Amino acid sequence: AQKITQTQPGMFVQEKEAVTLDCTYDTSDPSYGLFWYKQPSSGEMIFLIYQGSYDQQNATEGRYSLNFQKARKSANLVISASQLGDSAMYFCAMREGNSGYSTLTFGKGTMLLVSP
Amino acid sequence: NAGVTQTPKFRILKIGQSMTLQCTQDMNHNYMYWYRQDPGMGLKLIYYSVGAGITDKGEVPNGYNVSRSTTEDFPLRLELAAPSQTSVYFCATLGAGGEFGDYGYTFGSGTRLTVV
């Protein structure tokens, strides 16, 4: 079974609108972390936001917020007020446990295109 | 700070050739990882290391070897290159404290490898 599932291969949004990118995960470890990364066409991996399994509040970083629904095992990324520069591939990733032995598992990604 | 440096950035190999992808970090991080990203896909873990002299296999280790003789360097060796190894390779490190703002994970800029 896949540990990270991103069901949206591609998403389109108009500039200044909000968009939600879906991510569901599967783990039996009570301690885990969820990450979102942005990969623009230049190829680098850019960290966006992190949510720990024990965090009580949803994580926010500027225009990015993570809608963490633990019971549903979902960790959707919400981008408010989309910008043209948000056009990129977005990856959800999970780390089970909390040590260096705990490696990141990535989803297949969602391509976001922002139009003027 | 250079962070994580990967060389080369691009390489074309012929089937059956060998090469080493270099990864060097100057952050004194114990944990280092090699991922590959196939076109349109997420990253998959090849090998990782929790310290000098200690390495372990990830999800897709076949066709690769690693060594970790120092904290700074974590080279990835491809023996007898095959077209299936055409991919983008990322090196990443993990340190305590998350001083780079991504809860410790720092990615290199990647090596794009084509095997023909």
Please tell me the distance from the alpha carbon of residue A61 to that of residue A50, in angstroms, as a whole number: 9
CB atoms within 10 A of CB B104: 20
Please tell me the distance from the alpha carbon of residue A53 to that of residue B55, in angstroms, as a whole number: 28
10 Å CB burial of residue A90 (0-12, 13-18, 19+) is buried
Hey, are the CB atoms on A43 and B109 less than 8 Å from each other? yes
Inter-residue contact B77 to B71 (CB < 8 Å): no
By residue count, chain B amounts to 116
pLDDT band at A70 (very low <50, low <70, confident <90, very high): very high
The owner of tokens 């190999």 is B13
Please tell me the distance from the alpha carbon of residue B115 to that of residue B97, in angstroms, as a whole number: 38
Average pLDDT of span A55-69: 95
Over residues B32-43, the pLDDT tens digits come to 999 999 988 889
> What is the structure's pLDDT at B96?
62
Hey, are the CB atoms on A105 and B94 less than 8 Å from each other? no
Report CA dihedral (A100, A102, A107, A110) to the nearest 10 degrees: -40
Largest CA distance in chain B: 42
B39 and chain A: CB distance < 8 Å anywhere? no
A30 and chain B: CB distance < 8 Å anywhere? no
A62 and chain B: CB distance < 8 Å anywhere? no
B97 or B6, greater pLDDT: B6
> What is the structure's pLDDT at A14?
97
Q: For A43-52, A76-85, B9-18, which range has the lowest pLDDT when averaged over its residues? A: A43-52
Over residues B11-32, the pLDDT tens digits come to 999 999 999 999 999 988 888 9
Q: Buried (b) or exposed (e) across A10-23, using 16+ Cβ within 10 A?
A: ebebeeeeebebbb
Average pLDDT of chain A is 93
Hey, are the CB atoms on B42 and A107 less than 8 Å from each other? yes
Angle at A66 between CA A20 and CA A48, to 5 degrees: 95
Q: For A59-63, A64-68, A76-80, B99-103, which range has the lowest pLDDT when averaged over its residues? A: B99-103
> What is the structure's pLDDT at B77?
97
Q: 85-114 in B: which are within 8 Å (CB) of A? A: 88, 90, 92, 94, 101-103, 105, 107, 109-110, 112
A3 and chain B: CB distance < 8 Å anywhere? no
Inter-residue contact B9 to B112 (CB < 8 Å): yes
pLDDT over 90, % of chain A:
83
Residue B115: both structure tokens together: 């095997």
Average pLDDT of span B55-83: 96
Residue B21 identity (one-letter amino acid): L
Inter-residue contact A5 to A23 (CB < 8 Å): yes
The minimal CB distance from A103 to the residues B58, B103, B110 is found for B58
Over residues B79-115, the pLDDT tens digits come to 899 999 999 999 999 876 544 445 668 899 999 999 9
- For the four alpha carbons of B109, A100, B25 and B100, in that order, the dihedral sign comes to positive
The DSSP-derived string for B33-89 is: EEEEE-TTS-EEEEEEEEETTEEEE-S--TTEEE--SSSSB--EEE-S--GGG-EEE
Hey, are the CB atoms on A47 and B112 less than 8 Å from each other? no
